[in-house]
Amino acid sequence: MRILFVEIAPADQRDARMAAGLGYIAAYVRQEVSQAEIQIIKGDPAWVERKVREYQPDVVGLSTVSQYYRMAVEAADVCRRLGAFVLVGGHHVSVLPSSMTSSMDLGVIGEGEDTMLDVCRMFLDKGPERAAFATIPGIAVLGGPGWAVMDEPRPLHEPLDDFPFPARDLMHIRQGESVGMITSRGCPYHCVFCASSAFWKGVRFHAAEYVVAEMKEIVEQYRTPHIYFWDDLFIADFKRIRRIAELLQNEPTLHGVKLSCTCRANLASDELARVLKEMNVVEVMIGFESMSPDTLRYLKPHVTVEDNRRAVEIFHQHGINITGFFVIGSPKETREEIEQTLDFVRTAPLYRSEAYLLAPLPGTPVWEYALQRGLIDPDDAPWERLYIDNPDDVENGIHLSEMVSEEELRGYLREFQHIRQCKDRRNLLRRVPQHLAFFLRAPREELAIVAEWLRTHRRAHI
C-alpha cells in the first residue's frame, strides 16, 4: 500500500521546511501497518501531479490550511484523475467539511493519527469504496452538494507520548539546518483570530522526557544547531519547562544547541526567563498584537499593553532575543492606535518583528464577524485572500476595518515590513563574525545554515 502525504503550499516552497503534523501521522502509520510505504512532499498542484505520476500511490492525503484551499481542490482533482484515493485534512476541512469537493473521497476531521490508521486498515481490507469508511470516527464523507456526513467525532488521543517521533527521514531535512518541534497540541487561551482553539478544543502536552529524547534524536541525526518549538504556547506549563531544563543539563549532546520558543506576554517573569536562559533559549516569539489597550482587549483578552512592555523588559534584561508578532486592521482600530503599535515596533529592543492584516480564519470569532458583515460568502469564499503576504497585491487580504481604508492599511503594513527588513539586515551584520568562526570549525554545516536562512528570508520578502 503506497501512501503519499502532501502539505499543500505555493510552488516556491516545494519540499521546504515542513510542519510536523504529517510526520507524526506517517510515523504512526508506518509503525502500525507493515504494508504501508510512505512518502511526504510539500508543494503546489503541479508538484503533486509530478510526484503522483512518479510514485503512483494508492492513497494521497492532502493537508491544507484555508489560505491554500483552492490549491488543495486542484490537487485533489489531479490525484483523482490519476486514479488515487484522496483524503483531505487539516484546520480548514475540520471546521468546514462542507467545503469538500467530489474529488475528495474522505475528510479527516481533527487529529489525524488514529483516524488515518483506521483508514489504512479499512483500505487494505475493503479497498477504495467510500461507503466502507463512513463509520470511522473522525471521517467526513461528502453526501451531496454543500454538505458532508460524519458518523461521530473522534476523541483526542491520550497520552500524546503514545505517538512515535515524527518521521523526519521523510521530511527532506538537510544536515545542519534548523529543525522544528511540536511538544504540545492546543492552547489554553482563545484569541479571536486564532483557529487553533477551534481545531484542538483543549491542550495536551508531551512529557518532558519525551521532549528531550526527541531533541536528542534530532541533534544526533541532523547535527542541527538550532531547534524551534512551534507549539501554540510552549511555556504554558511552567512545571514542565523546569523539568525539561533539568533534563537538558544531563544531555551533553544538547549543550550548545540554540532554542527558540513561543511565549505569551502575561506569563513572562524573571523566573521563567532564568529557566529559559538555562535551557539555552536564545529567542522567544511573542504575539504582542497591538499596543492599543482597546484593540489588544479585542484581539487577545487577558493581556494588557503593560504586560507587553514588561515582557520585553524582562527578556531583554536576560539577554534573550524577542521576536514580536503584530496584527493590524481590527474592525474598530483607529489610525492613532496603529501608530501606537508602530512606535513600539520602532523603539522597543525587538530582535525581529512581523505584522499581518487581521484575517477571518474559519472557526474563529473574526470569521463570524466577517460573515455577519457580508464580507465573505461561505459558499464561494476567496480562500487565497485569507493570508496577507504582499501589501502591494490588492487581491491579498479581506478588509475588516470600519475605521481605516484598505489603501491606508496596506501603507501601514508596508511600513511594518520596512522596519522588519531593517532589523533583519542589522541582525545579519551582527552575526557575521560568529558565522565566520563557525565556518572555520565546520564549513559544511555552516554553509547549510546560511543557505537555510537565505531560503527562509527570501520567501518571507516575496
What pLDDT, on the 0 to 100 scale, is given for residue 438?
A: 56
Q: Alpha carbon of 267 to those of 158, 237, 315, 381: distances in Å? A: 26, 10, 12, 37
CATH classification of 173-461, choosing from 3.80.30.20, 3.40.50.2300, 3.20.20.120, 3.40.50.300? 3.80.30.20
DSSP alpha helix (H) spans, 234-333: 238-248, 270-278, 293-299, 305-317
Extract the C-alpha cell encoding 169.
Answer: 527521514
CA atoms within 13 A on the CB side of 79: 32
Closest Cα to residue 295, out of 353, 343, 267, 334?
Answer: 334
| Contact status, residue 369 vs residue 298, Cβ threshold 8 Å | no
Cell of 423: 532589523
Q: Beta strands 184-185 and 179-181: pairing type?
A: unpaired
Question: What's the confidence (pLDDT) of residue 11?
Answer: 92
* CA–centroid distance for 100 within its chain: 22
pTM flag (> 0.95): no
Q: Residue 284 has what pLDDT?
A: 98
Query: Residue 459's pLDDT is what?
Result: 45
Structure-block grid coordinates of residue 42: 510539500
Query: What is the C-alpha to C-alpha distance for residues 370 and 362, in angstroms, rounded to an integer?
Result: 10
| pLDDT tens-place values along the chain, 462 residues long | 999 999 999 998 998 888 899 999 999 999 999 999 999 999 999 999 999 999 999 999 999 999 999 999 999 999 999 999 999 999 999 999 989 999 999 999 999 999 999 999 999 999 998 888 988 999 999 876 656 677 677 899 999 999 999 999 999 998 988 999 999 999 999 999 998 877 888 899 999 999 999 999 999 999 999 999 999 999 999 999 999 999 999 999 999 999 999 999 999 999 999 999 999 999 999 999 999 999 999 999 999 999 999 999 999 999 999 999 999 999 999 999 999 999 999 999 999 999 999 999 999 999 999 999 999 988 888 899 987 777 778 788 899 999 999 999 999 999 999 998 888 877 776 655 655 655 666 676 666 656 655 655 544 433
Q: Per the structure block, which three cell numbers stand in for 374? A: 457580508
How far apart, in Å, are the Cα atoms of 294 and each of 225, 232, 299, 333?
Answer: 41, 24, 9, 8
Backbone φ, ψ for residue 142 (5° rounding): -65, 125
Fold classification of 2-150 is: Rossmann fold (3.40.50)
**Residue whose C-alpha cell is 488515487:** 84
59-63 and 85-89 as β-strands: parallel, antiparallel, unpaired? Answer: parallel
What cell numbers appear for 11 in the block?
A: 510552488
Specify the residue for cell string 558565522: 435
Angle at 196 between CA 201 and CA 190, to 5 degrees: 75
Report in angstroms the alpha-carbon separations of 146 from 142, 143, 364. Answer: 8, 8, 21
Domain ranges of the chain: 2-150, 173-461
